Structure 1
Amino acid sequence: MNWKTIASELFPQGHDIAEKGFVLSGTAKVDGSDVAVIGTTAHVPIGVEIALAQAELVLRTVRDHPRWPIVILIDTQGQLLRHRDEMLGINSYMAHLGKCIDLARRRGHPIIGLVYDQALSGGFITSGLMADACYALPDASIRVMGLPAMARITKVPEEKLTELAKHNPVFAPGPENYLRMGGIHDIWKENLAQRLAAALKEADNTDRRSELGLERGGRKQAQLVIQTVLADGHAGAA
């Protein structure tokens, strides 16, 4: 999906988003108000340079545009699998990006993520999954790990994983399964500008993903485990 087409649908009141080295940045109008836009395109893998570039854009927004909403447009094949980046500690750079997004949240910036094309593994974790709420388009491709790779890592036959994926969204890719698990809040099929405006108005920094996963039947234990741990913690403190 071309990012320019998506940007036109999301921001009919105008934007100045530009692409540089597969990184998107700029500002836009949503319901007459200014928002900052950060993202990636062309399925680019997130390496050291791109993680730093995105982190810089987030920090610049915090410095120059206090409390502006931030919209993250997501299209990435995940973490860059390159020896140089691994030796430089790509995990730390991606963690830095995640911390910058969390800093923006703590400084009062509503943050919305939109998977408009592809979202895989670490590139998704440190972008869309760090937002207050993440959404996806119907044709988006979302997964943490493909079933062939999962089979190699877990030593479980791919045929078995394919069968499990039919009934358990944890094993299955696609926006519908991430919706069931609470990983994304909704799938936007039309009226993108209206949906974005509503999402920004509804955004808060309460993490409801495990709660939504329980309500939707995609994650049946996460919220119960959280409640048990919190209850034990309160009991211990008393």
Structure 2
Amino acid sequence: MDLNTVAEVCDARTYRSWRPGDAWLGGGTYLFSEPQPHLRRLVDLSRTGWTPLQWLPGGALEIASTCTIAQLFRYTRRSLFAQCCHAFLASFKIWNMATVGGNLCNSLPAGPMISLTAALDGICLLHSLTGAQRRLPVTEFVTGAGENVLREGELLRSITLPAAALDRRTAFRQASLYGLGRSGVLVIGTRDRDGSLQLTVTASTTRPIRLCFPRPTDRVEFAAALERAVPDDAWFDDIHGLPEWRKHMTLRLAEEIRTELL
């Protein structure tokens, strides 16, 4: 879709001053998908030259916000990464343009990159135009449906996945009202070598919900903990699923994950 209100496109490498009507441009799959009448200028990140993925000392994985879904899929080939990439249910054109950072910054409940990075203890690195930086977990970055902690002019630079999280066993479950529909429920479980289990709930909730169980737990205790962790108003409600259905499926899939990992 043409954005006929945009009068200028700037190079992010030389951009210094944020003003009303500005927007960061990564892959553009969201920006160009619908009218954006409030926009006047786009700040293009495509020439920043950020390495899409790189292993850090100690075995952590740093994912640049400009890393595309296709690059993530080709580079890692890990089961959980592939499962979350396929959760997009998107064409190859979207895979080659949509970015990991864009998925997080849109902060939609069904965003599978939110699911992936939240489940693997992802840490967001945020940059401001003043040069200030701050870091916070993905679970704190997304605060609601389409909402996050980004301040005016602030940029998501990268997401780092710690080595310990990458070494965990994983289990993945997803549900939709339609065969090829948007995720209505997406639940990921991980288990450490010490036996502790982590559960991450997305898509069915307005923000990522993460629970940690340091010891094996039974079905009743597990379900009770999950129900306590999700406030009634946190179950998402839209055309892709009623809150009651999302809650029921979340509890069901979470139990499947508990059984598989324990």
TM-score range, shorter chain: under 0.3
- Greater fraction of residues in helix: 1
Q: If the length of structure 2 is used for normalisation, what is the TM-score?
A: 0.25
- Greater fraction of residues in strand: 2
Q: If the length of structure 1 is used for normalisation, what is the TM-score?
A: 0.27
